[in-house]
Structure 1
Amino acid sequence: MSNPSLLRDGRLPGVQELSFGGDYNPEQWPEEVWAEDLELMRRAGVNLVSIGIFSWGLLEPRPGEFDFGWLDRVIEGLHDAGIRVDLGTPTVVPPQWFWQDNPHTLPVTRDGVRLSPGSRGIACPSSPEYAQASVRITTELAKRYGHHPAVALWHVHNEYGAPVSECYCEVSAQAFRGWLQTRYGTLEALNASWGTAFWGQTYREWSQVGVPAQSATSTNPAQRLDFARFSSDELLGCFTRERDVLHELAPGIPVTTNFMATNCPSMDLWKWAAEVDVVANDHYLWAADPDAQVGLALDADLTRSLAGGQPWMLMEHSSSAVNWQPRNLAKRPGELARNSLSHLARGADAILFFQWRASRRGAEKFHSAMLPHAGAESRVFGEVSDLGASLKALRDVLGSTVRAEVAILWDWESHWAQGLDWMPSADLDPRRQVREYYERLWRDKVTVDFAHPSADLSGYRVVLAPSSYLLSEESAANLESFVEGGGHLVVGPFSGVIGPDDAVHEGGWNGVLRDLLQVSVEEVLPLREHGTLTLTDGVEASVWAEDLRPREAETVLEYLDGPAAGQAAVTRRTLGPGTATYVSTVLGYPALAAVLDPVLEIAGVAVERGLPWDLERVSRHAADGTEFVFAINHGAAPVDLPLEGTDVMTGAVLGGSVKIPAGEVRVVRR
């Protein structure tokens, strides 16, 4: 387990200010450049850099032979410059000698192709040779630098699960069998859980159980769901193995790895978050999204929730364009600050970038950086330096927290299950459902947490379950307790359908939620591609309808057309002081107002529609009662925000309002 004394305190040892910096890869440059780097880092206000992440081949040029001289010089130079170090274990990139000696450790894809070296993050997670080599280099690093005063944090591996999260080789198959034996105990229990009587798949010997590689048609979905769980656990085992070495040899220094909360769906980060000392996350805008600031906020709120509401680290984001999307859009003037301060507003105490100096060679040479190809006189470097100054002015925000009255349920296992073969509709996307509900609240200036269905929900007024396809009986009971306690629940379509073993619950399509919602789903009615529906009050819907049979629930909205015309579309059941609303179709964020507004009003959650929709407003709260209000104007026109307090950046006392120019940010202390 992670070290309880280091977990979630929101601060790194010896760091008493907001952290600012990024990945630093001096090994890509001649040493005469390093002095210039340090001078420009000081100029920009950098105080924390991540180093060594991709340097295994330089640190261990041959098996068991180590060369730390260059890294010694880098760390000493940073220390002399007053810059703290996030020291990486370089296990995301095994050296070429490792692949030459152990070609069988290269992962095998689901369709049977063994990958080649030359990329990153591609060792079979179950490989004993990889485990041994990883522990060796991590041990040497911990012995050498575990007590160095510059080291504030350990950074294990890099972006686990990207680009490869599963391996289908024979070593993985053996590990999978061991994982299954621990989970089920007996073959009889495995056969029952997987439903192997279907299509004659019953197993009589453990040796017959394999990985769910590509088959002639749809592979057993319960087997694939378990393999997804196993794969996440195997990667987590790689992390904890190195973490435990670091805890033993470098006590007092927290250990983390960089998550990708919404961009790496193969890892159950609720499990992972319990194993890191500090939650860290990487986020990159998706250029194809015209409202990418909403996706950024969602990712930040999810990361804060993984951190248990405590401050977290933005380990990577970009100063401008990335290099790996079909169309890599440069950030416009001011966007770098807006993106960075949105993460800060939503709980980050560290704002870091990939990377410090733009690479001249390699696959990421067109990826932006703090110090771009255009150099220190460029607009981007000027904005980076301005951000560094802003973060110094905002140092009192350090350690403050974000409060939310609304939670959205998020469950990686449910997403995995709903993404398997042969579902009723390819258009019912659980993540898209979550985004629509989240965007409705983002536009209404309602701050949101995320929670697992089994979590303690008692601190929230409203809980939204846009897509809970997989729901255990225990989680369903948890939701019922929430409603009985006076909470207000909204459930989206195709929810409560299967349990953890991928079996459909007895009693209908929503069997495990039927009693709570007091409505039965007789049949699901997916629409043709691009199909739309109209509900009462002119509410527009799409993708999906259901044949509902309300019991003790009242009908809120009906279908006016489509396969369920004249029947209930949205229902609400009152249970003591709480309510449970069921939405049996897909509503975009504009239409969701018709459903969510009454629920939020009953719950006493304020909605703000008197301000421009693209003004982002969120607060952080310090232990002494101070509130920091972040107002981020993503629009093209200035906004006057009614607000009293003091402008943190300028010290000006506000006379009841603050003007936020187009594209700019204001932070007000009150």
Structure 2
Amino acid sequence: MTAPRTSRFPYAKGPDGARLIGYGADYNPEQWPREVWEEDVRLMRAAGVNVVSLAIFSWARLQPTADTWDLGWLDDVMDLLHAGGIGVDLATATASPPPWLTTAHPEILPVTATGETLWPGARQHWRPTSPVFREHALRLVRELATRYADHPALVAWHVNNELGCHNVYDYSDDAARAFRTWLRHRYTTLESLNHAWGTAFWSQRYSDWEQILPPRLAASHPNPTQQLDFKRFSSDALKDHLLAERDLLRELTPDVPVTTNFMVMPGTKGMDYADWAGEVDFVANDHYVIPGPQDRDELSFSANLTSGISGHRPWFLMEHSTSAVNWQPVNLPKKPGELARDSLLHVAHGADAVCFFQWRQSAAGAEKYHSAMVPHAGEDSALFRDVVELGRTLEALAPIAGSVREPARVAVLFDWDSWWTSEQDSHPTSRLDYHGEALDWYSALLRLGVRADIVPVHRTDLSSYDVVIAPVLHVVPQPLAKELTRYVEGGGHLVTTYFSGVVDENDHIWLGGHPGALRELLGVRIEEFGPLLDGDTVGLDNATTGSLWTDRIEVAAPDVEVLARYRTGLYASRPAVTRRTTGRGSAAYVSTRLGADGLATLLPQLLAPAGVDSELPESARGSVELVVRRDADSRYLFLVNRSEESVPLPGVAGDVLVGRETGDDGIVLAPREVLVLRRSAG
């Protein structure tokens, strides 16, 4: 798989030709009368906007009927934006089919696992595997690409929008046919499929490919490998649609980069973005903060993972919010300073463009209460003044455009197969939260002030990291087990957790005792899992508390060190945390969920063999996040105050790009403030 071609990143350029950080929003002029458009361009210029995403949900306006087109209005908007010095990330507009199409062809509508049709009236009401939808979508793409190929405003193509947000799993007859084709490609023979799916169980053996269906509503738990393969297939089906549009765009406009907006955040696990990343010219992501005790930790985690998906090359923040959204149970506005802090934290993790949904807040429709760069209150508002100020800040950060994130010494592995598989039904517990466990480890590292990279398992050279943390690495094929063993024997320090190494790529148990594929490396053996009931906890002798899970660990090698034992519970006095020294490295196992607080207590002991510690002054650890970007000449230190208190940074120095100049007492970060310093790369 190839890395994203980030040399094709659509940088805005200053008067001197130097790269700028992109700044803008989704722009939906079709929601407004013609006289508003010129006012929009005036305000965009005032705010420092240099790029907008256009025509995302415009199909019904662009093609009013099957045989008519109305693109004159889009011509006008493109011309206005170009005259205002604003580039256009032009959408293919295929995200939501128009009413004439769904009326004429209801067979393009998705079907749920229970056989219900998802009808028009919202968005994304189309089957990824529908040949009828594909035909009409590509006809629209061809029309747009042919018309705007040489328009000077066009800087990038935006395929569809948030692929899979509402239609990732379709159980229709189209999907069934496509699923069988996908399975034939994967397994070649029915014998191989029957083995992989374990169809000797429950009399499920297939004697003809046509007997195979998606995992629709069944009388009991559907075949687990069938479920896993359907998740893999569904991600691939969406990727196939991305490729169909991308290939046509590359044929017609070979010099214009192509992307689509990912959604790297907790609630969107259906798309394997690590697998998609090599198919776009630059990675783009949408992210929205979910309020809660780890909300900004999660923002940092997702931005960090986006960087990992992009190969640590610059990426494009296509959407986030200026303030409140409209789709949460309670939609809280952002506090003063959070608009800038959230935006700059994405930039710290590699975003070279910062865009919002949307430019002007809608007066009608399902998202009319979603914040925008221009709110309902208009130009004379605190929010718009913050938007203008952020534009100035991003202008000051122009020197970092094109720089890359400096690798950390610690990596947290992220694996879509393990996410999908570990949370399936008929498991030891239905309470397991793969993403939550990974986030806990990252939160604990943030509390210690230790920089870490979030990296996809299969896009990663582990040898470049001193410590690799693999939370709930449930799916471990034999090649991955060998790679982890080589990493440890070569001097790396691996940390993994409960329910790791348990199954292979077909969701078959590694026999002989858990943790299966990692048993010899870790030097421990587990005969039976000990999941905990809701509300139950166990104490450890290192003053931490475990929940969700325990293991009955037997030490199976003489060189295993017990770092902590259970103090209470069914396995009291037995090992809870172990570490085995192997070759020049070590492999540690944590058998319970300790949460971010408990992990922050344990982590120094796990990091010690690698000599990893915080680069921040002690007074800032836990309150300030440090992220570093670099180019050939400079290192750019982003210091982000995650707290509601002022934080001193004694001994921290550099040329100030963003933030207040240092005084006689040194740097003090105000609540929610971001400071960006430049130092020599030497």
Superposition TM-score, scaled by structure 1 size: 0.97
Q: Which amino acid aligns with 1:584?
A: S
Decide whether the 8 Å contact of 1:541 with 1:586 is kept in 2.
Answer: yes
What's the CA shift string for 1:547-602, capped at 9, x where partnerless? 11112222111111111111111111101210100111111112113432123222
Decide whether the 8 Å contact of 1:355 with 1:369 is kept in 2.
Answer: yes
- Structure 2 CA distance for aligned equivalents of residues 163 and 33 of structure 1: 31
Q: Following superposition of structure 1 onto structure 2, how do residues 97-112 of structure 1 map, counting pairs within 5 Å?
A: 97-112=100-115
Measured after TM superposition, the shift of residue 14 of structure 1 is 5.6
**Where does residue 201 of structure 2 map in the other structure?**
198
**Where does residue 16 of structure 2 map in the other structure?**
none
- Structure 1 CA distance for aligned equivalents of residues 338 and 244 of structure 2: 39
Decide whether the 8 Å contact of 1:444 with 1:609 is kept in 2.
Answer: no
**Where does residue 37 of structure 2 map in the other structure?**
34
Query: Structure 1 residues 312, 655: CA separation in 2 closer, same or farther (over 3 Å shift)?
Result: farther
Decide whether the 8 Å contact of 1:408 with 1:448 is kept in 2.
Answer: yes
Give SS of 1:526's match. coil
Measured after TM superposition, the shift of residue 614 of structure 1 is 5.2
- Structure 2 CA distance for aligned equivalents of residues 337 and 13 of structure 1: 21
1:668 aligns with 2:677: yes
- Structure 2 CA distance for aligned equivalents of residues 119 and 340 of structure 1: 29
**Where does residue 371 of structure 1 map in the other structure?**
374
Query: Structure 1 residues 369, 208: CA separation in 2 closer, same or farther (over 3 Å shift)?
Result: same
1:320 aligns with 2:323: yes
RMSD of aligned alpha carbons:
1.6
Decide whether the 8 Å contact of 1:347 with 1:620 is kept in 2.
Answer: no
Decide whether the 8 Å contact of 2:448 with 2:600 is kept in 1.
Answer: no
- Structure 2 CA distance for aligned equivalents of residues 665 and 556 of structure 1: 38
1:648 aligns with 2:653: no
Q: Following superposition of structure 1 onto structure 2, how do residues 247-266 of structure 1 map, counting pairs within 5 Å?
A: 247-262=250-265, 263-266=267-270
- Structure 2 CA distance for aligned equivalents of residues 491 and 26 of structure 1: 50
**Where does residue 635 of structure 1 map in the other structure?**
643
Moved more, 245-254 or 599-608: 599-608
Q: Which amino acid aligns with 2:593?
A: V
What's the CA shift string for 1:34-61, capped at 9, x where partnerless? 0110000000110000001100111111
Decide whether the 8 Å contact of 1:453 with 1:478 is kept in 2.
Answer: no
Q: Which amino acid aligns with 2:667?
A: V
Q: Following superposition of structure 1 onto structure 2, how do residues 115-130 of structure 1 map, counting pairs within 5 Å?
A: 115-130=118-133
Decide whether the 8 Å contact of 2:221 with 2:425 is kept in 1.
Answer: yes
Q: Which amino acid aligns with 1:604?
A: G
- Structure 2 CA distance for aligned equivalents of residues 601 and 565 of structure 1: 26
What's the CA shift string for 1:323-365, capped at 9, x where partnerless? 0010110001111011001111111100000000000000000
Decide whether the 8 Å contact of 2:447 with 2:600 is kept in 1.
Answer: no
Give SS of 1:349's match. strand
Decide whether the 8 Å contact of 1:21 with 1:46 is kept in 2.
Answer: yes
Decide whether the 8 Å contact of 1:399 with 1:622 is kept in 2.
Answer: no
What's the CA shift string for 1:52-109, capped at 9, x where partnerless? 1100111111224222100000000000000011000111111111101110110100
Decide whether the 8 Å contact of 1:646 with 1:653 is kept in 2.
Answer: no
1:148 aligns with 2:134: no
Give SS of 1:611's match. helix
1:488 aligns with 2:493: yes
Give SS of 2:241's match. helix
Measured after TM superposition, the shift of residue 621 of structure 1 is 3.2
Q: Which amino acid aligns with 1:44?
A: A
Q: Which amino acid aligns with 2:92?
A: T
- Structure 1 CA distance for aligned equivalents of residues 210 and 276 of structure 2: 30
Q: Following superposition of structure 1 onto structure 2, how do residues 175-194 of structure 1 map, counting pairs within 5 Å?
A: 175-194=178-197
**Where does residue 353 of structure 1 map in the other structure?**
356
Query: Structure 1 residues 333, 596: CA separation in 2 closer, same or farther (over 3 Å shift)?
Result: same
Moved more, 606-615 or 566-575: 606-615
Q: Which amino acid aligns with 2:275?
A: K
Give SS of 1:491's match. strand
Measured after TM superposition, the shift of residue 651 of structure 1 is 8.5
Q: Which amino acid aligns with 1:402?
A: R
Unaligned runs of 5+ in 1: none
Query: Structure 1 residues 528, 649: CA separation in 2 closer, same or farther (over 3 Å shift)?
Result: closer
Superposition TM-score, scaled by structure 2 size: 0.95
Unaligned runs of 5+ in 2: 14-18
Q: Which amino acid aligns with 2:45?
A: R
Moved more, 612-621 or 419-428: 612-621
Q: Which amino acid aligns with 2:370?
A: H
1:580 aligns with 2:587: yes
Q: Which amino acid aligns with 2:536?
A: G
Measured after TM superposition, the shift of residue 260 of structure 1 is 0.7
1:93 aligns with 2:96: yes
Measured after TM superposition, the shift of residue 161 of structure 1 is 1.0
Query: Structure 1 residues 644, 612: CA separation in 2 closer, same or farther (over 3 Å shift)?
Result: closer
Query: Structure 1 residues 453, 649: CA separation in 2 closer, same or farther (over 3 Å shift)?
Result: closer
Q: Following superposition of structure 1 onto structure 2, how do residues 490-639 of structure 1 map, counting pairs within 5 Å?
A: 490-552=495-557, 553-607=560-614, 608=616, 610-613=618-621, 615-639=623-647
Q: Following superposition of structure 1 onto structure 2, how do residues 436-515 of structure 1 map, counting pairs within 5 Å?
A: 436-454=440-458, 455-515=460-520
**Where does residue 667 of structure 2 map in the other structure?**
658
Decide whether the 8 Å contact of 1:521 with 1:546 is kept in 2.
Answer: yes
What's the CA shift string for 1:597-620, capped at 9, x where partnerless? 123222122235723455333233
What's the CA shift string for 1:401-451, capped at 9, x where partnerless? 222111111111111111211111122211111011010011222222222
**Where does residue 54 of structure 2 map in the other structure?**
51
**Structure 2 residue aligned with 1:237, among 240, 252, 258?**
240
**Where does residue 344 of structure 2 map in the other structure?**
341
What's the CA shift string for 1:294-340, capped at 9, x where partnerless? 11000000000000011111100000000001011000111101100
Give SS of 2:603's match. helix
1:297 aligns with 2:306: no
Decide whether the 8 Å contact of 1:24 with 1:355 is kept in 2.
Answer: yes
Give SS of 1:464's match. strand
Decide whether the 8 Å contact of 1:646 with 1:654 is kept in 2.
Answer: no
Q: Which amino acid aligns with 1:664?
A: E
Q: Which amino acid aligns with 1:617?
A: E
- Structure 2 CA distance for aligned equivalents of residues 19 and 523 of structure 1: 53
Decide whether the 8 Å contact of 2:628 with 2:637 is kept in 1.
Answer: yes
Q: State the 4+ residue runs in structure 1 displaced beyond 6 angstroms.
A: 653-656
Measured after TM superposition, the shift of residue 527 of structure 1 is 1.2
Q: Which amino acid aligns with 1:657?
A: G
Measured after TM superposition, the shift of residue 483 of structure 1 is 0.7
**Where does residue 391 of structure 2 map in the other structure?**
388
Measured after TM superposition, the shift of residue 187 of structure 1 is 0.9
What's the CA shift string for 1:130-178, capped at 9, x where partnerless? 1111111111111111222211111001111111211111111111111
- Structure 1 CA distance for aligned equivalents of residues 188 and 464 of structure 2: 37
Moved more, 234-243 or 612-621: 612-621
What's the CA shift string for 1:483-536, capped at 9, x where partnerless? 111111001101011111111112212110011111111110111211111111
How many aligned residue pairs are there? 667
Decide whether the 8 Å contact of 2:179 with 2:214 is kept in 1.
Answer: yes
Q: Which amino acid aligns with 2:602?
A: V
What's the CA shift string for 1:634-664, capped at 9, x where partnerless? 3232222121112213794666831212222
Decide whether the 8 Å contact of 2:644 with 2:672 is kept in 1.
Answer: yes
**Structure 1 residue aligned with 2:78, among 75, 80, 84?**
75
Q: Which amino acid aligns with 2:457?
A: P
Query: Structure 1 residues 116, 651: CA separation in 2 closer, same or farther (over 3 Å shift)?
Result: closer
- Structure 1 CA distance for aligned equivalents of residues 617 and 547 of structure 2: 25
- Structure 2 CA distance for aligned equivalents of residues 190 and 497 of structure 1: 21
Moved more, 306-315 or 8-17: 8-17
- Structure 1 CA distance for aligned equivalents of residues 405 and 467 of structure 2: 17
Query: Structure 1 residues 10, 533: CA separation in 2 closer, same or farther (over 3 Å shift)?
Result: farther
Q: Which amino acid aligns with 1:526?
A: P
